[in-house]
Amino acid sequence: MKNKKIAIIGGGNLGQAIAKGIVNSKIVAPSNITLTRRRLHLLEHIKKEGFNVTADNKEAAADAHILFIAVKPFQLQQIVEEIAPIIASGTIIISLATGIASTSIENYFQKSMPIFRAMPNTAIAIGESMTCVSAYNANEEQKKIVLTLFEQVGKALIIPEELMSSATVLAACGIAYALRFIRAATQGGIEIGFGSELALQIAAQTVKGAADLLIKSSTHPEEEIDKVTTPRGVTISGLNEMEHQGFSSALIKGLLTSYNKIENGKA
Ligand SMILES: NC(=O)C1=CN([C@@H]2O[C@H](COP(=O)(O)OP(=O)(O)OC[C@H]3O[C@@H](n4cnc5c(N)ncnc54)[C@H](O)[C@@H]3O)[C@@H](O)[C@H]2O)C=CC1
Ligand SMILES: O=C(O)[C@@H]1CCC=N1
C-alpha cells in the first residue's frame, strides 16, 4: 500500500478530509497523494503539508493506482469523460458522489473499470469514519485494498450497491444529525446554567460515552436507557416529553426526507 499513488479529483471538504485521514493513519505518505482543484490557490495549505496539488485532472489521474472522485454529483460525468482517455484500465476508481450508480460511471468511462462507491463521513479526517463501500467489476484483491484503506480511517463495510443511498443518509448525513443533537443539548445546557463552552464539552463527551457504551458492550440503546431511568425519576419525564414533542419521529422523518431526495435524483 505504501508505494501506491493516490489521486483525489476534487480537493474540497471531503477530498481534503480523506487525504488527511490517509496520511494521519500512515498508510501512504503525502508525497504519494495528489489533490486537484480548479482554484488551485485554495489548496496552498495542503501543499504546505507535503501533498501534491494540481489543477490538471489528467496529470493527477495518469499514474494513479487508486483514484478518488470527490466532486459534486453533477460534476462527475464531465470529470470522468475528461480522464477516461488516459486512465489505465486496472486503476481502482472510488466515487464519492452521492446517488450516481456504478453502471452510469462505467458508461461515462466507456470501458470496463473496477468501480467502487464509498460513503465515508467527515470524521474520516480524525480516523473515526463510518464508511460503507460498494464494489462493481472488482476482484477480491481490489476489494481488499479498498476495504483496508477505509479501515485505517475508521470502520468500513462492503454493502450491496442498492443500499448506498441508505448508507449515505445514516452515516454521511448522520454525522450532521448527531452534531445537531449536540448543538441542541448545548443550547439547553446554557438555559439551565452552563456557559456555552462547558455545555458543549459536557454534551459532546456525553454523546461519545453513549456511542461507546453501545459499541463496546454490544447492548441495545433501550437496555442502556433502562439503566438511567429511575421510576418516577427525572430522566423518564424528560424523555417522554421529548417523545410527545416528536423527537424520534422528527429524526426518522428527516432521514426519510434525505433518502427520498437521493432516490428522486435530487442529490
Ligand atoms: N461532505 C460530506 O460529508 C460528504 C460528501 N459526499 C459527497 O462527496 C462529494 C464532494 O462533496 P464535498 O467535498 O462536500 O464538496 P466540495 O464542493 O467541498 O468539493 C468538491 C470539490 O471539487 C472541486 N471541483 C469541481 N469541479 C472540478 C474539476 N473539474 N476539477 C477539479 N476539481 C473540481 C471543487 O472546486 C471543490 O473543491 C459530493 O458528491 C458529495 O455528495 C459524500 C460523503 C460525505
Ligand atoms: O449533503 C450531501 O448532499 C452530502 C451527501 C452526504 C453528505 N453530504
Closest listed ligand to the CA of 12: 1
What's the predicted TM-score (pTM) here?
A: 0.93
**Rounded Cα gap, residues 190 and 186, in angstroms:** 6
Residue from 96, 173, 180, 263 to probe ligand 2 pocket by mutation (most atoms less than 8 Å from CB): 173
> ipTM score of the complex?
0.94
Please work out whether the CB of residue 204 comes within 6 Å of at least one atom of ligand 2. Answer: no
**Rounded Cα gap, residues 120 and 123, in angstroms:** 8
What number of H helices and E strands is found in the chain?
Answer: 12, 8
Q: How confident is the model at residue 233 (pLDDT cuts 50, 70, 90)?
A: very high
pLDDT of residue 24 exceeding 90, the answer is no
**Rounded Cα gap, residues 122 and 190, in angstroms:** 27
188 is in an annotated binding site: no
pLDDT of residue 118 exceeding 90, the answer is yes
Q: How confident is the model at residue 30 (pLDDT cuts 50, 70, 90)?
A: very high
pLDDT of residue 185 exceeding 80, the answer is yes
Residue from 13, 75, 98, 179 to probe ligand 2 pocket by mutation (most atoms less than 8 Å from CB): 98
Q: What is the tens place of the pLDDT at every residue in 157-173?
A: 999 999 999 999 999 99
pLDDT at 1: 75
Q: Which residues pair with 131 in a beta bridge?
A: 156
Measured by CA distance, the residue closest to atom 3 of ligand 2 is 267
**Rounded Cα gap, residues 3 and 55, in angstroms:** 23
Task: Give Cα separations from 224 to 12, 185, 211 (angstroms).
Answer: 39, 19, 11
Cell of 87: 486512465
9 is in an annotated binding site: yes
pLDDT of residue 58 exceeding 90, the answer is yes
pLDDT at 25: 84
Measured by CA distance, the residue closest to atom 1 of ligand 2 is 173
Q: How confident is the model at residue 40 (pLDDT cuts 50, 70, 90)?
A: very high
233 is in an annotated binding site: no
Please work out whether the CB of residue 172 comes within 6 Å of at least one atom of ligand 2. Answer: yes
Catalogue all structural domains in the chain, each as residue range(s) with its CATH number: 6-159 (3.40.50.720), 168-263 (1.10.3730.10)
Average pLDDT taken over every residue of the chain: 96
Closest listed ligand to the CA of 118: 1
pLDDT at 81: 96
pLDDT at 54: 97
pLDDT of residue 232 exceeding 90, the answer is yes
At residue 129, φ and ψ (nearest 5 deg) are -75, 155
Distance 255 CA to ligand 1 centre (A): 22
- Which residues sit with their C-beta closer than 6 Å to ligand 1? 9-15, 36-38, 57, 70-73, 75, 79, 96-98, 119-122, 172
**Rounded Cα gap, residues 61 and 233, in angstroms:** 60
Closest listed ligand to the CA of 123: 1
**Rounded Cα gap, residues 50 and 19, in angstroms:** 11
Distance 256 CA to ligand 2 centre (A): 14
For residues 21 and 211, which has the higher predicted lDDT (pLDDT)?
211
139 is in an annotated binding site: no
Measured by CA distance, the residue closest to atom 29 of ligand 1 is 79
Closest listed ligand to the CA of 73: 1
Measured by CA distance, the residue closest to atom 31 of ligand 1 is 37
pLDDT at 21: 87
